[in-house]
A and B are shown apart, each in its own frame.
Chain A
């Protein structure tokens, strides 16, 4: 046996490095170069619509970002989507996961149908919900009117537009939360419930003291993944409202896009990017630690 393991070790490093290298090389030139540029540009007063050459300006752009009300508006919108989305999707997801975690005919079919929204092209989603939200001819208002409501202009009303985006996000991602929580529920051994039953626990007590604590790791994943994805939400917003009406639904990604494509502010947009990068790095570090710890265990 000893011989085998030394045999395995021989030439291991060279071969391993050789096969690992190509993608790492590609990733580095794709990432490191651009980010060095981003960092560099963020220190310059640099605007493509102004003929003046870029001027080194220290932290001028970062100051602008933090004084920019439109940035804070985008920050607020993104945070609202994040918090409302995570809470709603966790609760709904848990309910549906419980409903699915029983024995019944057509179980597989039900799971498949519920999982469908996850992989729908985001652009299609935006377009499709525009029809559904249509003030006069959309099915949503039709159903609301059938139930006695008046119907609303979902995406044109500044007070409702962000809520409409939240609904679309919830429609697409509750299934994802459901699947994760369902996997969590299925991994709880039956004996645990039997033990709780023997101890005379009521249904609610079992849920509160047994199921929820055992689902905790899954909830951690849900929160972190949803945080990451909502943080970069772009496509559905772009198609549904384009950030409007006004800037009522502008998210961080959308504002960065506008600041680049509409105003060609290289320096400012770079600073905006760096700020988002820092926020994301902090979130990612929490997450990476968690994943790596689990891997080692």
Chain B
């Protein structure tokens, strides 16, 4: 009885220690969650602040009212042009990139077409600092007279997005066993039909994820947009940066536009978190 008592005491002691430990860990985690959420909360709250509320001490941490006049004013300040152009560039670009990458990813993943050399070429493009490409691309675009056009921007985004999408889709195809296609081929399907009817439906989730990443990358991209466009094309990040650099920064309007700008990225994280690591590490982590 005594021994049992001692054991019981020890067990309770351990249990208490475990509980305290758990509580501390929860507190620490809460702290980190607040830390990472705060700047995003600040964008959100800023979008609903009135003019004077930005220059108020102490800072205002809660919105007094949820009025959308910052948004409507932001749209007239170039915001609507920014949203439209960003949508045009990102949508068309994504569509083209995905179609091209689907085929190349299939060729490379299923047939090892191009072998190691092509793999190396595609992968190394992913590491390229975009700034290096800016100068030569600018001169080429100038020569072709397409500076400040949708074509120039969509084309330059190929450099970032095409290798990315090829690599990701190639990985998704390599995950599928080859046998499922062999069966279709034996049934007399053509190569293309076997791909379209058998393989493609199976990698649709992968294609959708790749497309969303490509879309968000194009939507968020700033450097190329800054360099290759002037007035005909003005994507959202460019509009934002000009508003920031302008005289008397319009904080409220900027915050409202910022909130619009982060929507695609936030949605991607919220709904496709499962694929986030895989996408960002180009498939190196399947997690």
Number of interface residues of A (CB under 8 A): 103
CA distance A269 to B182 in the complex (A): 52
Contact of A119 among B33, B125, B265 (CB under 8 A): B265
* Chain B, range 191-227, C-beta contacts under 8 Å to A: 191-192, 216, 219-220, 222-223, 227
Taken residue by residue from 23 to 63, chain B's Cβ proximity to chain A (1 for < 8 Å, 0 otherwise) reads as 00110110011011111101100100000001111110100
A12 interface contact, C-beta 8 A: yes
CA distance A256 to B107 in the complex (A): 37
CA distance A26 to B166 in the complex (A): 13
B43 and A16: CB pair below 8 A? no
Chain B nearest CB from A27 CB (Å) reads: 6
Q: State which of A51-59, A156-164, A275-283 sits at the interface with chain B.
A: A275-283
B134 interface contact, C-beta 8 A: yes
Q: Given A124-B240, A129-B39, A235-B222, A118–B127 Cβ distance below 8 Å?
A: no
Q: Given A137-B57, A260-B134, A294-B284, A122–B220 Cβ distance below 8 Å?
A: yes
Taken residue by residue from 237 to 262, chain A's Cβ proximity to chain B (1 for < 8 Å, 0 otherwise) reads as 01100000000000011001100110
Residues of B within 8 Å of A121, CB to CB, are 219-220, 222, 236-237, 240, 258, 261-262, 265
Interface centre among B139, B227, B244 (most CB of A within 10 A): B244
B110 interface contact, C-beta 8 A: yes
Taken residue by residue from 48 to 85, chain B's Cβ proximity to chain A (1 for < 8 Å, 0 otherwise) reads as 00000011111101000000000000000000000000
Q: Given A34-B136, A121-B237, A124-B240, A19–B268 Cβ distance below 8 Å?
A: no
CA distance A294 to B124 in the complex (A): 16
Contact of B132 among A13, A38, A41 (CB under 8 A): A38
Q: Given A27-B121, A123-B240, A234-B223, A115–B108 Cβ distance below 8 Å?
A: no
B261 and A26: CB pair below 8 A? no
Interface residues of A, dominant DSSP: helix
Q: Given A19-B103, A116-B36, A136-B57, A239–B241 Cβ distance below 8 Å?
A: yes
Chain B nearest CB from A43 CB (Å) reads: 14
B36 and A113: CB pair below 8 A? yes
Chain B nearest CB from A21 CB (Å) reads: 8
Chain B nearest CB from A278 CB (Å) reads: 11
Taken residue by residue from 134 to 165, chain B's Cβ proximity to chain A (1 for < 8 Å, 0 otherwise) reads as 11110110000000000000011011001100
Q: Given A20-B108, A119-B266, A288–B124 Cβ distance below 8 Å?
A: yes
Chain A nearest CB from B157 CB (Å) reads: 10
A223 interface contact, C-beta 8 A: no
Q: Given A34-B140, A123-B240, A269-B135, A179–B261 Cβ distance below 8 Å?
A: no
Q: Which residue in chain A gives the minimum CB-CB distance to B238?
A: A123
CA distance A118 to B266 in the complex (A): 9
Q: Given A20-B103, A38-B132, A118-B280, A139–B33 Cβ distance below 8 Å?
A: no
Chain A nearest CB from B143 CB (Å) reads: 10
CA distance A96 to B30 in the complex (A): 10
B273 interface contact, C-beta 8 A: yes
Nearest 6 CB-CB pairings of A with B: A183-B287, A119-B265, A20-B107, A34-B136, A16-B111, A232-B129
User: Could you list which residues of chain A lie within 8 angstroms of chain B, going by C-beta atoms?
Assistant: 4-5, 7-8, 11-13, 15-17, 19-20, 22-24, 26-27, 30-31, 33-35, 37-38, 41, 95-96, 99-100, 102, 104, 110-132, 136-139, 142, 171, 174-176, 179-180, 182-184, 186-187, 218, 221, 225, 228, 231-232, 234-235, 238-239, 252-253, 256-257, 260-261, 266, 269-270, 273, 276-277, 280-281, 283-285, 287-288, 291-292, 294-295
14 A-B interface contacts by CB (under 8 A) = A20-B113, A23-B101, A27-B163, A41-B136, A121-B237, A123-B237, A124-B43, A124-B262, A136-B55, A139-B61, A175-B36, A280-B127, A283-B127, A291-B282
